[in-house]
Amino acid sequence: MSDRQIDFDWNQMRAFLATVERGSLSGAARELGLTQPTLSRQIAALEQALGLLLFERMGRRLVLTASGGQLVEQVKIMRAAADRIGLAVSGQSQATEGLVRITASDIVAAHMLPPVLERLRDIAPGIVVEVLASNSIDNLMRREADIAIRHVQPDHPDLIARRCPDSAVLIYAASALLDRLGRPSTAAALGDAPFIGFVQGEALVAELNARGIPVTQQNFRWITNSFVAGIEMVRQGLGIGVMFREVAERIAGLECVLPDMRPIAAPMWLVAHRELHSSRRIRLVFDLLVETLSTERRLGGGTGDPVDD
C-alpha cells in the first residue's frame, strides 16, 4: 500500500472488524443490524479504497489475508478511540445511574430476570430497572424499552441482536396428576393425556408429534396466552405442559415426563436499539444479560455463529 492519503468510511472499518471478530459475514451482519449484502458491499468498498484484499473465500468460509491481519489491530485502536470520543461528547453516556427498561415474556420476567437484577444491584446500584412483561418487539421501536429478550430473531435494521444459547423445553406435570394418571414410559402413552396449551399452539402440536407424542388440539383442554399462567395450571394438576427446563427445575412438585425425550429448542435473543452503542448504563445491563443467559443451563451449550452463507 502506498503512502497516499486514503479516504474511507468508518462504517466500512466497523464492518471489517465485526466480520473478523464474529468469524462470518452472517454473524457480523447480525451484530451490526445490517443485511448480509449490505455488509459485503461495505467490505468490498473498503478493499477498493485501500487497494488490498482483506479476505479470501475458502468454500463457505472467509479467511483473513496477511494484509487483513496487519490491519486488524490498527482498526481496534481506531474503535477504542471512537468509543472514547462518544463517551466524551455525551455526559449521559458516561452515567451508570438512571433508568433502563427491559421487555421480556412473562416467564422470562418472572423466573429468569430476578437473579440478573440481584447481580446488577451489586454492580451498579444507581441503575433502576423497569421490567415490561410483553412479547412485542415493537416495544423497542416505539422506545418503550431499551432492551428486549425475545424468542424470535428481529429483522429491523435499527436493532442490534445477540443470540444466546437456546433454552431446552421439556414436558412437565404435577406429581399429584401423575399419581392419578400413572407415569408414562413411552410417548404413545400420552395420546389421551390432558395438556395445557397456548394461543396459536399449532406449532407445539407439531413439535410433540415429531417426537412421537400422538396429541391433537383435542388434548389441549385449557389454553392461555400467558406462560406464567400455564405453569400455574400445570403446577395445580390441571394438565401436562411444556416448560423451560431451567424454570421447571426450580418449581417444587413438578416432574419431567419422558425425561429422555429430545428437548424442543427455544431460541433466546437479546435485542437493543442502536443507542446501546452510546449509553454506558444500557450497555452494562445488556452485557450482564448476555453473560447470565449464556451461562444458564441451556440446550447443547449454545448454537455458535454459522459460517458465511
pLDDT at residue 32 in the model? 85
CA distance 172 to 240: 6
Q: Is residue 60 predicted with pLDDT exceeding 90?
A: no
CA distance 232 to 180: 18
Q: Is residue 302 predicted with pLDDT exceeding 90?
A: no
Q: Is residue 89 predicted with pLDDT exceeding 90?
A: no
What are the cell numbers at 74? 490498527
pLDDT above 90 covers what percent of the chain?
32
CA distance 111 to 237: 20
SS (H, E, C) 125-171: CCEEEEEEECCCCHHHHCCCCCEEEECCCCCCCCEEEEEEEEEEEEE
Pairwise pLDDT comparison (48 vs 304), residue with the higher score: 48
pLDDT at residue 136 in the model? 61
Site of grid cell 429422555: 260
For 187, phi and psi rounded to 5 degrees?
-65, -35
Q: Is residue 306 predicted with pLDDT exceeding 90?
A: no
The H or E element containing residue 2 is none
Task: Count CB-CB contacts under 10 A for residue 136.
Answer: 14
- Smallest CA-to-CA distance from 42 within 64, 16, 65, 18 is with 16
Amino acid identity for residue 175 in this structure: S
pLDDT at residue 298 in the model? 43
* Residue 3 DSSP label: S
What are the cell numbers at 22? 464474529
- Smallest CA-to-CA distance from 169 within 255, 261, 104 is with 261
| Structure confidence at residue 140 as a pLDDT band (50, 70, 90) | low
User: What is the mean predicted confidence (pLDDT) over 39-61?
Assistant: 87
Question: What's the whole-number average pLDDT of the chain?
Answer: 83
Model pLDDT for residues 193-249, shown as the tens digit of each residue: 999 998 777 888 999 999 999 999 999 989 998 889 999 999 999 999 999 998 999
Would you say how long the chain is, in residues? 309
Pairwise pLDDT comparison (267 vs 94), residue with the higher score: 267
Give burial (CB, 10 Å; 0-12/13-18/19+) of 265. Answer: middle
- Smallest CA-to-CA distance from 161 within 286, 76, 265 is with 286
pLDDT at residue 189 in the model? 93
The answer to whether 41 and 14 have CB atoms below 8 angstroms apart is no
pLDDT above 70 covers what percent of the chain?
84
| Structure confidence at residue 134 as a pLDDT band (50, 70, 90) | confident
